[in-house]
Chain A
Amino acid sequence: MPAFDVQQFRQQFAFFQQQPEWVYLDNAATMHKPQAVIDAITQFYQHYNSNVHRGAHQLSQQATILFEQARSTVASYINAQHLHEIIFCSGATAALNQIAFGLMHTVLQPGDRILLTQLEHHANIVPWQLHCQRHGVIIDVVPLTAEHRIDLVAYEQLLALGPKVVSFSHISNVLGHIQPVAEMVRLAKAAGAVTVIDGAQGIVYQQPDMQQLDCDFYVFSGHKLYGPTGIGVLYGKTEQLEHLTPIFAGGEMIDSVSFINTSFNKLPFRLEAGTPNIAGAIGLSAAIEWLQKYNNKQIIQHKSLLLKEFYNGLTFIKGIDILSSHVHNAGIVALNVDSEHPADVAELLNQQQIAVRSGQHCAMPLFSCLARPGAIRCSFAAYNTLDDVNRCLLALEQTVEILTA
C-alpha cells in the first residue's frame, strides 16, 4: 500500500476548499464529511428515496436493501457476529439512553450497583443517573490517577463490590487518553458485570473488533466517523440486546398490536421504532467503505506525527498548562494558558480562524477532579496537516502574547 498522502486525503473534503482560511481542530466535536459520503446521501434521495421494510413496491425494496447493506457494512467493520446486533439509532447519546433505560428491571434490580468512571462524557453519566435514581440502583465511580488515567487498582476494588453493569469510554473526549479497554472488559467480565463501552471517540481511532474485545455493548455516533449527524450505532451481543426494554415504541418494532396485548418484533427491529434515518445509515456506511480504502496504521502514524509536532511546539510557548499526556493519546490535547480563562484563549484563537472548543466539554466531573475551570481542546483528524499544527502554534503564541501584554 502506498504511503499515506494527506493532501490526497484532504482533497476529498469540499469543506476545506470552501473554507481555506480555517484550521479545523474541533474534530472530537464533529468531523467533516468526504465527498463519497455527501454523494451517497444525495444519490439516495435522488434515486432511491422510499421508506424501508414496509412498502410492497420495488422502490421500497431497493431502499430496504441499501439500508440493510449499511447494517452489514457496520457489522463487518466492527466484526459483530450477527447483523441483528447492529441497532441503528440517532447517536451515542441515544444508544446510551437506550441501554441505561433498557437494563432497568431486566438486569438491574433495586439495590444493585453499577460502575462508571470519573472521566465520562455526560452522555455516559446522566442517563444512568436518571434511571438509577428512579430504580434504586447505586452508582460507583472509578477515580483517576495523578496522570488523569483510570485508576486500575481502584477499578478492581470497585469491581469487588459486584456491580451488575460497568460502563466506560474507549477514549476520553477531553484528554484523548486511550483507556485499556480490553483489560477493563476482561476484569469486569471476571467480576460478572455487563460491559458497556462508549466508543464515541474510540471508533475513529481504531477499528474495534467486537468479538475480540468481547464487550457486551459498544456505542458510537456516525458524525465522529466522517459520517452524517443523526445516525449512530448501538452494538450489543444478542443475549444482551434481548435484555433491553425498548425506550421507544411505535411502528416497525412490533409483531402484532391489539389493545389487549402487543408482541414485539425480533432484533434488530424491536429496538428501532419508527422510520429510521435511512439516508444517515447509508451515509455512515459510505464513510466506512471510503475509510477502508486507507491503511489505518498509516493514519495513526500520521496523527501521532501531528501530535508530536504539536507537543514539541508547545514547549516553546511560555505558560502553557497541558492537561493531556502525549502517551497513549488518540490525538486530543486539552490545555490552558496559565491563569487565563479558556474562553478568552478560545476567542483569541477564533479571531485567528483556529477552530477549537473551550469549556468543560460535557465532562464536568472530570474538571472538578482536574481543578480547572475548563480547557481548550485541540483535536486532530487524519485530514489535518503539519501546516495546521504550525498555524495553531503560531496563533497560540500570539494569543499568549496578547493575554500577557
Chain B
Amino acid sequence: MTLEQLLADTKPVLLDIQQRNLAEIEQARDWQAKYRVLMQLGKKLPAIPEKMKQPELLVKGCESRAWLMHYHDKATDKHYFVLDSEARIVKGLMAIMLCLVNGMTTTELCQFDLCHKFDQLNLKPYLSQSRGNGLTAMVSRIKQCCK
C-alpha cells in the first residue's frame, strides 16, 4: 500500500460522506440513528496499514489514538487527507472533518471555520476541550497543514 493508493481509495469515500451522510446525520431521528451513521463512516474509510502508522502521524487523544496523513498537491495547491483511528465513533467524527476540508486550497483551508461547521451539524459538543477524544488535536493538526 502506498500513500497514492490510500488517497485514491479515501477520496471517493470522503466525497460520498459529504454528499450523502452529512444530511443523514443532520436529519437523524434519534441518537441511535446518528451513531449508526457515524460508525458506518468509520467503517467506510480505508484503514491505514499498521506499517504505515509512523509515530509522526499520531494524533493523540486521551482514550484512543488516531493517525492523519496529508498530501499537498503543489501543482493545484490542493490538500488531501487520509485518516485512521482506533475508535469507530471518533473515526466517524474525524471523517466528517476531513470531508469538509479535503481538496481545499491552502487559502481555503486556512480560512475554513471547522468549529462553526460542526456547530451547524449539531456536532459541536464533540469538539469541547474537556473531551478526551482527540478531535481538538485533530483540528489543530489539520490546520497546521496549511502552514
Contacts and interface: CB of A to CB of B under 8 A. Distances in A.
A131 interface: no
Contacts of B24: none
B143 interface: no
Contact of B39 (A342, A346, A373, A403): A403
Contacts of A348: 35, 89
Nearest to A399: B35
Interface string A39-73: 00000000000000000000000000000000000
Contacts of A346: 63
B36 A405 contact: yes
Interface in B38-88: 39, 61-64, 86-88
A254 interface: no
Interface string B71-112: 000000000000000111110000000000000000000000
A151 interface: no
Contact of B86 (A343, A347, A402, A403): A343
A341 interface: yes
Nearest to A342: B63
B32 interface: yes
B136 interface: no
Contacts of A373: 64, 86
A373 B73 CA distance: 36
Interface-centre pick from A343, A373, A402 (highest chain B CB count, 10 A): A343
A168 to B, nearest CB: 27
Nearest to B30: A351
Interface string A324-356: 000000000000000011111011100100000
Contacts of B10: none
Greatest chain A CB density within 10 A among B61, B64, B86, B132 is at B64
Given A358-B63, A359-B62, A359-B132, A341 B88 contact: yes
Given A343-B89, A344-B88, A359 B63 contact: yes
Nearest to A405: B36
A374 interface: yes
Interface in B112-135: 132-133
Interface string B3-39: 0000000000000000000000000000110011001
Contacts, number: 42
Most buried by A among B36, B61, B87, B133: B87
A343 B31 CA distance: 17
Nearest to B90: A343
A402 B63 contact: no
Contacts of A398: 32
B131 to A, nearest CB: 9
A373 B36 CA distance: 23
A346 B31 CA distance: 14
Contact of A343 (B32, B39, B64): B64
A405 B32 CA distance: 11
A344 B87 contact: yes
19 contacts: A340-B88, A343-B63, A343-B64, A343-B86, A343-B87, A343-B133, A344-B88, A344-B89, A344-B90, A347-B133, A348-B35, A351-B35, A359-B62, A359-B132, A373-B64, A373-B86, A402-B36, A402-B39, A403-B39
Given A343-B61, A348-B35, A405-B36, 20 more contacts: A340-B88, A341-B87, A341-B88, A343-B63, A343-B87, A343-B89, A343-B90, A343-B133, A344-B88, A344-B90, A346-B63, A347-B89, A347-B133, A351-B35, A358-B63, A373-B64, A373-B86, A374-B63, A398-B32, A403-B39
Please give me the 4 A-B residue pairs with the lowest Cβ-Cβ distance, nearest first.
A343-B87, A341-B87, A343-B63, A343-B64
